[in-house]
Amino acid sequence: MADLTQQEWTSKLNADQNAVILDVRTPEEVAQGIIPNAITIDIYKGQGFVYEVEKLDPSKTYYVYCRSGGRSAQACSVMNQLGFKNTYNLIGGFMEWKGEVASI
């Protein structure tokens, strides 16, 4: 796992053909807007989060974010323990996101 600033995160994401954006916020938070093309898995689902993550392709690179960066760092750590090699945490999370936002 690596903690990346928004600029680093966006730069790596845009250059990565193997990228998946993962939003680990709650459904209520996601309803306020989402980074375009993100998939959502609520980290507060506990074991349910692990079950959902285990369905993902570990060969992909995951760009993970939450509201402020704490839960996404935790999610990256869990993913690494499950065998995911490339996870990047967005420092500051969605609260500090300056890029495009999509509605659900």
- What torsion, rounded to 10 degrees, do the Cα atoms 92, 88, 81, 26 define? 50
Q: What are phi and psi of 91, to 5 degrees?
A: -65, 130
Q: Is 66 a catalytic residue?
A: yes
Note the helical H segments in the chain: 6-15, 27-30, 47-54, 70-81
- Select which of 66, 73, 76, 91 is catalytic: 66
Q: Catalytic site residues?
A: 66
